[in-house]
Amino acid sequence: MERLFKHVCLVARHSKPAILTSLRELADHLAANGVTVLIDKESATPEEAGPYPLIDRNDMGKMADLAIVLGGDGTMLSIARVLAPYRVPLVGINQGRLGFMTDIPLHEMLTAVDAILSGDFLPEDRILLQASVIREEAEVANALAFNDVVFSRGAMGSMIEFEVFVDRQFLYSQRSDGLIVATPTGSTAYSLASGGPILHPTLQAIALVPICPQSLSNRPIALNDQCEVEFMLTRGLDARVHFDGQSHCDLMEMDRVMIRRYRNPLRILHPVGYNYYDMLRHKLHWGERLL
């Protein structure tokens, strides 16, 4: 059978031995069906990878037609930022806990992957954010975020004060524990826990969600994804900006952070029959009998 994707890179959360067993099972299955298998070198040792070449994560987008993640949403987040510049699609096998993005259960792994490689899948494009930290008119840091860009107070515990602009127009000033700038994908993560709206992943939107604001009139707001959001820290001695909760940059007063939609979306491939609302009901326990 003709395979749509001929070079597949496997990525796994390395902390669990059971995942490595699944990784080798999937690698052997793909190789037996004529697929060239590559393995992310952060996911396995040479002994664990066996006959399959280990590649640097930064080379994944150049060498693979498809990436398959075995793990949880955290692993998906880290790989999404790597693959987005190359438009390489991503498939998630759930071996984590909640798994909003890794939607193929482990017991269906081989069957679902075979179908996807043969072209039976539901593609879904999701936006990312690109953030630049500006200090005294010079860029001191930049990063991509698939879930969210989060501004937070530091270990000193006091609230931070900041101003927010949208397309160079003043939106508001705020005193709070921080602010979440979330993509639709990230709307079911920290944003949801902070009272933000759930955005369907195909929406072209960005949500601004305050974290414990001093004024109760500060409410979440959804913006068009073509907007440029500017955050300016006016007071806060230990503030930080976090990117997907996996990297961060310390902020100084009067630093500005410019946030806009990244030029490339990330394509996630779902199995046929995938239903976003079914996933929400299952993960969030909607529809259970009320007490």
- Mean pLDDT, the chain, rounded, equals 93
Any binding-site annotation on 73?
A: yes
Long-range Cβ contact pairs of 15-24 (< 8 A, separation 24 or more)? 16/95, 18/95, 19/70, 19/71, 19/95, 20/44, 20/48, 22/70, 22/93, 22/95, 22/106, 22/109, 23/48, 23/70, 24/48, 24/50
Catalytic residue among 40, 59, 65, 73: 73
Q: What is the mean pLDDT of residues 229-254?
A: 96
Q: Which tops the pLDDT comparison, 150 or 101?
A: 150
Q: Which tops the pLDDT comparison, 97 or 81?
A: 81
Extents of the domains making up the chain:
7-127+265-284, 129-261
Closest-CA residue to 152 (of 12, 251, 254): 251
Q: Is residue 3 over pLDDT 80?
A: no
User: What is the pLDDT at residue 123?
Assistant: 96
pLDDT grade for 109, boundaries at 50, 70 and 90: very high
Calculated CA dihedral for residues 235, 238, 239, 245, nearest 10 degrees: -170
User: What is the pLDDT at residue 290?
Assistant: 58
Q: What is the mean pLDDT of residues 233-241?
A: 94
CB-count burial class (<10 Å; 0-12, 13-18, 19+) for 152: buried
Any binding-site annotation on 177?
A: yes
Any binding-site annotation on 175?
A: yes
Kindly state the percentage of the chain with pLDDT values over 90.
82
Any binding-site annotation on 74?
A: yes
Assign domain 129-261 to a CATH class.
mainly beta
User: What distance in Å separates the CA atoms of residue 38 and residue 49, rounded to the nearest whole number?
Assistant: 9
Any binding-site annotation on 204?
A: no
Q: What is the mean pLDDT of residues 23-39?
A: 96
What confidence tens digit (pLDDT) does each residue in 37-88 have? 999 999 999 999 999 999 999 999 999 999 999 988 889 999 999 999 999 9
User: What is the pLDDT at residue 258?
Assistant: 98
**Which CATH number applies to 7-127+265-284?**
3.40.50.10330
Our answer to whether residue 114 is catalytic in this structure is: no
